[in-house]
Amino acid sequence: MGQADTNKAIVHQFLGAVEAGDLATIEALQASDCTWWVVGGGDMTRAAYTEAVKGMLLTASVRRVTIIGMVAEGDTVAAEVRSEMHFGDRIYANEYHDLFVLRDGQIVHGREYFDTSKVAAFFGAQKG
């Protein structure tokens, strides 16, 4: 398996862990110096990103993460993803473009793009 395929497999494992609510794997696949950038939220540390994900995963009764496609080049993997999470009788669904940079089998940087109007409609606009 080439490096691109190996990196895609790691991203697939990470997104599968999000769907499964597997926080141990989510944490293990991020390097200790991992950083994130999230549309509407900007730069985030590994700890802040993981805590935000944890909050959603622990409160969602159903989690679906569907990978539409992935492209890898060098140490970078781009993934088109659809997610659906159930919170009681309410369902949050959105489409994502995630960009992952990997080093030594771990994610060192992630960028997450999604429809911010869907986030605001479901969770409420962020007060800043």
Mean model confidence pLDDT for the chain: 93
Is the pLDDT score of 49 beyond 50? yes
Please give the pLDDT value at position 125: 58
- Residue 119 — very low, low, confident or very high, per pLDDT cuts 50/70/90? confident
Please give the pLDDT value at position 82: 98
Domains of the chain plus CATH, in order, are 3-121 (3.10.450.50)
Distance CA 22, CA 14 (A): 9
Phi, psi of 89 (to 5 degrees): -95, 5
**What spatial distance separates the first Cα and last Cα of the chain, rounded to whole Å?**
46
Q: Calculate mean pLDDT across residues 23-48.
A: 96
Distance CA 7, CA 76 (A): 8
Structural element, H or E, at residue 97:
strand 90-103
